[in-house]
Amino acid sequence: MIHYEKLIVRAAPCAPVDLPETLHPVLRRAYALRNLTGSTELDRSLSCLLPVSLLNGAAEAAHLLQQMIESRRKILIVADFDADGATSCALALRGLRAMGADNLDYLVPNRFEYGYGLTPEIVAVAGERDPALIVTVDNGVSSLQGIAAAHAAGIQVLVTDHHLPGPQLPDADVIVNPNMPDNSFPSKHLAGVGVIFYVLIALRQQMNSSGWFSRMGRHPPNLAELLDLVALGTVADLVSLDHNNRVLVYQGLQRMRAGRCCAGIRALATVAQRSLARLVSSDLGFAIGPRLNAAGRIEDMALGIECLLTDDQDLAEELAARLDALNRTRRTIGEEMERQALEQLDKLPLLDQLPFGLCLYREEWHQGVIGILAARIREQCHRPVIAFAPGEEAGLLKGSARSVSGLHIRDLLDAIAASHPGLLQKFGGHAMAAGLSLQLTDFDTFRLAFDHEVRRRVDAQQLRGVIRSDGALQPGDFGIELAELLRAAGPWGQGFSEPVFDGHFRLLQRRPVAEKHLKLLLQPSEGGDIIDAIAFNQVGRPGEVDSTIHAAYRLDVNEYRGRYSLQLLIEHFQVVPERTRGNLHDG
């Protein structure tokens, strides 16, 4: 396995900020480095959520939904096939049922048969269920043809989405998307599940003010009970955790920790060997989310949605076990694809001569796993990567792109589409991730165009692997107390990264674990207690016992047989030559 070195860069000292002096100095420094400027941004109560009145289209969506509920006309939810889509679908169904809707159904396209979004083919399948209204969740803003087909069939369409719109908008009855050009909602980072949650808030407000609940003899639902789904979908979709999203995720986690979550999330936590009482956002992103995603990647996301919808704990555990098995299959496929991709890279020139933008393809690669592959190769090579696999149609390729900080991948694809008309069949996505399709015969043309466009937008320095450190810790900071404090200070995630520290350590012991990982014993160079550490996926890194290493790490709490202890999670380490010890990069 190749190991490209990373540069550990300490963030520049912060200007004074209006944060409480009572905060632990390390936490205060971490918050300041993440541009928090005052105590209001530390408040994670529901009262801090942005008001639904600011989200354009939410009131119109509520009016349309109320009409359907009151007339008992069928509402069909059409979801995306990832974790955001699954949680959005489950949230919509649970929320609408709580409002009194009793004529509901859902449909999730199988990625291997229909592809992404509300396509005309999916509309034809939906039409067999005779809906009056299709509600898209986590998709729809680019579904021009599908929405036209729905209208031709006499079906109304409400689009709830968060993806960036293209130059032409679909002719939907209502569109709710914070990233629409005319939408002034302050948080542009809502996940799809966050958008439908806001629509449900607007619906509850409208139905309550219209007297619907009193006429029906029922109480308005407490939508906060659904925040477990909002938290899971938000973290799993890797949207930026701005203040509004941190509130949503924190509140959802609080409900999970208290055991007030749906049976499916409880069962998924169990098969992932995670304690509900100590759940953090990284557990959602790296343990629960991938098992839910495995359904859409390998089989059919309906399995994941059913897991989130059931209130039968036994059934939830059965479905979670099937999802866990699919995730093991996905992991096996992914590991083989990664091995093959790294073999391709080993045959390319030296790192400084690699393309700025990498395109990788093999005929046998699995379409459902290329997104994970692109992310892993990006981490290896520190540059944007698109992994391709054969699509449903002969001669068609599906690609999944992952970008680097500062390079908006969806805008880059838009520029390629403009400069090479007809090259891209379809594309869409976010700043950091996107999907696309093109003809196999156009692969080499696209590969060159992609590299050219990346070179126009970034320089070689931006493609260096950089780990941004929150600085060094003092010997007295290496304790479980600070680790627990940081654990509770999140939620950490995309755009609000968990604190990473760096320092020099004497490497006292190293041994492989599970073939790919390293278990280490370290002692800070300044002295102090010996500390356990683990470096995931770094078994081949150089570093002999008794050498001095420079390590970037996170503080973690390790639980073993009911006992908790400090453990360092090593992001990256390298041997420090004798002559350079004491020198650190500041940035």
Check residue 580 and give its pLDDT: 59
CA 65 to chain centre: 29
Q: Is 356 in contact with 383 (CB distance < 8 Å)? A: yes
The pLDDT-based confidence of 385 (bands split at 50, 70, 90) is very high
Q: Is the pLDDT of residue 89 over 70?
A: yes
CA distance 143 to 149: 10
Give span(s): CATH 2.40.50.460, the chain: 6-32+467-586
> Which pLDDT score, from 0 to 100, does residue 349 have?
63
Question: Which of 494, 377, 370, 497 lies closest to 432, judged by CA?
Answer: 494
Is 70 exceeded by the pLDDT of residue 193?
yes
Q: Kindly give, in sequence order, each residue whose CB lies less than 8 Å from that of residue 173, ignoring residues fewer than 6 positions away.
A: 64, 156, 157, 158
Could you give the C-alpha distances from 506 to 286, 503, 510, 536, in angstroms and in order? Answer: 30, 10, 11, 19
Token pair in block for residue 335: 């590991």
Q: In what order do the strands lie in the sheet with 426-429?
A: 358-361, 385-390, 396-402, 433-439, 426-429
Alpha-carbon separation of residue 454 from 124, 359, 457 (angstroms): 39, 12, 5
Q: What percent helix, strand, coil does the chain show, rounded to 5?
A: 45, 20, 35
Summarize pLDDT for 307-335 with one digit per residue, the tens: 999 999 999 999 999 999 999 999 999 99
115 band by pLDDT with thresholds 50, 70 and 90: low
> At 428, is the pLDDT very low, low, confident or very high (cuts 50, 70, 90)?
confident
Segment 459-487 mean pLDDT: 92
Q: Hunting for tokens 């990498």 — which residue is that? A: 358
Examine the pLDDT at 179 and tell me if it is beyond 70: yes
Domain with CATH 3.10.310.30 in the chain: 348-463
The helix/strand/coil state of 106 is strand
**Which tokens go with 9?**
């860069």
Asked whether the predicted pLDDT for residue 586 surpasses 70, the reply is no
- For the chain, what percent of residues have pLDDT higher than 70? 96
Was domain 348-463 assigned CATH 3.30.565.10?
no
pLDDT at 116 over 80: no
CB of 155 closer than 8 Å to CB of 187 = no
d(CA 145, CA 130) in angstroms, rounded, equals 19
How far is the CA of 413 from the CAs of 355, 432, 446, in angstroms? 17, 12, 10
Token pair in block for residue 244? 């509004």
Predicted local confidence at residue 579, as pLDDT: 61
What's the whole-number mean pLDDT along residues 371-380? 92
Question: What's residue 196's pLDDT?
Answer: 98
Phi, psi of 558 (to 5 degrees): -95, 130
Whole-number pLDDT of residue 348: 72
Q: Tell me the pLDDT band of 406, cut-offs 50, 70 and 90.
A: confident
Of 587 and 434, the one with more pLDDT: 434
d(C-alpha 549, C-alpha 532), whole Å: 15
Tell me the mean pLDDT in the region 42-52.
96
Please give the structure tokens belonging to residue 420: 């090479």
Rounded to two decimals, the pTM is 0.92
Distance from C-alpha of 232 to C-alpha of 237, rounded to nearest angstrom: 9
Helix, strand, or coil (residue 446):
helix
- Pairwise CA distance, residues 555 & 226, whole Å: 31
Rounded to whole angstroms, the Cα distance separating 277 from 252 reads 13
Enumerate residues 6+ apart whose C-beta is below 8 A from 379: none
- Of the listed ranges 209-223, 353-367, 377-391, 423-437, the one predicted with least confidence: 423-437
Question: Looking at residue 584, what is its pLDDT?
Answer: 53
Confidence of residue 484 (pLDDT cuts 50, 70, 90): very high
> If you average pLDDT over residues 30-47, what whole number do you get?
92
C-alpha–C-alpha distance, residues 488 and 567, integer Å: 16
**pLDDT at 257 exceeding the cut of 80:** yes
Judge contact between 194 and 230, C-beta under 8 A: yes
Mean pLDDT on 45-68? 97
Average pLDDT, the chain: 92
Which listed CATH number (3.40.50.800, 3.20.20.450, 3.90.1640.30, 3.90.800.10) goes with 52-325? 3.90.1640.30
Tens of pLDDT, residue by residue over 492-517, are 999 999 999 999 999 999 999 988 89
Answer yes or no: is pLDDT of 461 > 90: no
Cβ neighbours for 364, distance < 8 A, ≥ 6 positions apart = none
**Which pLDDT score is estimated for 283?**
97
CB 384 within 8 A of CB 394: no
Closest listed residue to residue 282, CA positions, set 521, 498, 35, 537: 498
217 near 158, Cβ under 8 Å?
Answer: no
Q: Which pLDDT score is estimated for 1?
A: 45
CA distance 357 to 369: 20
Start-to-end CA distance of the chain, whole Å, equals 30
Q: Please report which confidence band the pLDDT of residue 284 belongs to, taking 50, 70 and 90 as the band edges.
A: very high
What is the spatial order of strands in the sheet that 465-469 belongs to? 465-469, 6-10, 585-586
As a dihedral over the C-alpha atoms of residue 10, residue 380, residue 434, residue 79, rounded to 10 degrees, the angle is -100
Listed range (238-247, 338-347, 356-365, 544-553) with the worst mean pLDDT: 338-347
Contact at 8 Å (CB) between 27 and 485? yes
CA–CA dist 303, 315 (Å, integer)? 11
- What's the Cα-to-Cα distance from 164 to each of 85, 184, 411, rounded to whole Å? 16, 14, 9
Domain with CATH 3.90.1640.30 in the chain: 52-325
Q: What is the mean pLDDT of residues 548-571?
A: 93
CATH architecture of 6-32+467-586: Beta Barrel (2.40)
Q: How far apart are CA 486 and CA 569, in angstroms?
A: 14
